Amino acid sequence: MAALLLAATAVAAASAMAPTLGTAVVTGGSRGIGAACSMRLAAMGFGVVIAYRSDEAAAAAVCEAIRATGGLAHACRADVSVESDVLALFTFADTCFDGAPLRALVNNAGILGPSGVDLAAAGGVEALAQIMAINVGGPMLCCREAERRMSTAQGGSGGSIVQISSGSANIGTPLLYAASKGALNSMTVGLVRPFGQAGIRINTVSPGMTHTDMVDHLASSFDMSQVPLGRMGAPAEVANAVAWLCSDEASYVAGANLRVSGGRPPGTLIG
């Protein structure tokens, strides 16, 4: 019992500490690429707020893994397609880690949606609206809230935003998912100048086929000969690119779309 109380006290003390690099918010941070980004940013010295939509246990597990290595993390439930949830998420982040300023945002939350043209058509406008609300509307809302906190014109200290897109934007499949990622890319290009003038660097990372829950079921149909490195990627490899873009080493990088695809060129189809 004494050991448990001591451990709980240590976690509470760590949570109250101010992180070296400020606060980072990672949406969809409870699994896959998002979890890897959360752990990598925490290892760099960020206090990480892990936003999750439904899997509380997974988010808690990522927090515990971060704390076990001396990092700082909290979890917050938020559906990024719901504006009130996004407002609550960033208000929560304001209170974490002894009020450390927000310095990084990773917009990772997303859904795949219907994977076939027939299924997408059958879903109609409702299916399109759902995937756009999460994959485009969510990042837009999060960018707005991040800008309000990071903008040097509003008393912030600047920061970095990384949008997790996909190579699907270049190949048009899965249909609705690809359309949403194309829209995300376009939105990001439009934000580079106004955000840059406010001390905020915004960039995109476009993973190729990566081992995650979202795409592992497609692995058997994927022609690995399309990938010069001959394999699928790991979430940690995507997270390394995100971490670099959030670091001072990328201080002159804005508006980039960094492909993490093992050399797989744009426009190559699965199979």
Which residues are part of the catalytic machinery?
177
Specify the 3-state DSSP secondary structure of 165: coil
- Give the pair of three-digit tokens for residue 49: 């707020």
Q: Which residues are 52's β-sheet partners? A: 77
Q: Which residues contact 159 (CB under 8 A, 6 or more apart)?
A: 22, 102, 103, 104, 105, 146, 150, 199, 200, 201
Chain mean position to CA 253: 18
Q: Cα angle at 164 between 111 and 236, to 5 degrees?
A: 100
Q: Tell me, what amino acid is at 12?
A: A
Q: Which residues contact 182 (CB under 8 A, 6 or more apart)?
A: 169
Three-state secondary structure string covering 92-152: HHHHCHHHCCEEEEEECCCCCCCCCHHHHHHHHHHHHHHHHHHHHHHHHHHHHHHHHHHCH
- Give the pair of three-digit tokens for residue 206: 């476009």
Q: Which residues contact 207 (CB under 8 A, 6 or more apart)?
A: 33, 164, 166, 167, 233, 238, 260, 261
For tokens 């935003």, what's the residue? 161
Instruction: Identify the helix (H) or strand (E) that includes residue 162.
Output: strand 159-164
Instruction: Centre a 10 Å sphere on the Cβ of residue 215 and count the other Cβ atoms it contains.
Output: 20
- Alpha-carbon span 62 to 1, nearest angstrom: 24
